[in-house]
Amino acid sequence: MQLQFPQLTAQLQNRLLRGEHLTLYGPRGGGKSTLLIQLHARLERNGVPCAYSVSTAALDDITRALECAYPGVATLDVARRTARVRLWNAADRRAGVLLLDHFRCNGSAMVAFLRRLHGKIAGVLTAVDIDAEKEHRRMRPWRYGAMSVRMPMATSGQLRRLLDERWRAARLPPLKVDAAEAFVEAARGRLGWIARCVELACERRYWCEFGPLVTVVCVDTEAAVRYQALGMVRTQWTAPAGDQGSSAIAGGSAASGLMTPKRAGTLA
């Protein structure tokens, strides 16, 4: 079972091609990044100028995204303000789409430039991580002229099917019913969480003689999802020789996903 959102992807594409500005919001690990990546591939196949920004927290992140969408525009030897003018003119001649992941609106200059992209200059989709109601209240997409779209949560049945298929594909030992239900409950409707959970479960340090260390896998998956949303990855940890069994059973050393992560330029 692939992480795919065909109906929502088609709806968002149609709205973006009309020049709309949208904010896709939902909890971390809910599949927003996967949807943006699929949407980017779909737009590219249709020949639409588009770009995907892994993390967007500054005006220059938007500028770099426009440079990717319009590679023919000369921007290397000019000031960034001049570069943005040239890119805006290119978008005015041929409208494109910007997909801005892990978006944080910082500063009035960023707001003003996004508003300048209205009027069929460029469709813009920003993805925002919202885990609590107070974060939702702070979002305020109307500041930069966007409408909100909530990322739909998966049903328990969809989560179970994805877990079962990914678990089998990874050729892991059979998962007991109570462990599977614990993973589904911890996912809280997030398909991306399940996918990351299975990736971690492939590592030997998350296993003991009785099966997977369910609580440790859940804690580390949550940490990994949050680090990924910040453009970060956890540090790889390797147990000393002969120490994996005892430490894994104790459950302490295996929770290495909570270590200080390093910066990385990987896709979120």
Residue 131's contacts (CB-CB under 8 Å, 6 or more residues apart) are 27, 28
Contact between residue 62 and residue 111 where contact means Cβ atoms under 8 Å apart? no
In this prediction, residue 250 carries a pLDDT of 34
Share of the chain above pLDDT 70, in %: 80
Beta-bridge partners for 149:
24
The arithmetic mean of pLDDT across residues 78-91, rounded, is 95
pLDDT at 247 > cutoff 80: no
Is the pTM higher than 0.85? The answer reads no
pLDDT at 265 > cutoff 80: no
The arithmetic mean of pLDDT across residues 73-89, rounded, is 94
The arithmetic mean of pLDDT across residues 248-265, rounded, is 34
CA torsion angle for 61, 67, 73, 77 (degrees, to 10)? 50
- Region of 171 on the Ramachandran plot (φ > 0 left; ψ -120 to 50 alpha; else beta): left
CA torsion angle for 73, 75, 80, 85 (degrees, to 10)? -30
Residue 12's contacts (CB-CB under 8 Å, 6 or more residues apart) are 22, 24, 35, 39, 125, 149
pLDDT at 23 > cutoff 80: yes
The arithmetic mean of pLDDT across residues 97-114, rounded, is 91
Pick the CATH number of 6-150 from 3.40.50.1110, 3.40.50.300, 3.40.640.10, 3.65.10.10: 3.40.50.300
pLDDT at 59 > cutoff 70: yes
Structural domain boundaries in the chain: 6-150, 156-263
- Per residue in 137-195, pLDDT (tens digit) is 676 777 888 898 988 888 899 899 999 999 999 999 999 999 999 999 999 999 889 99
- Band (pLDDT 50/70/90 cuts) for residue 3 is low
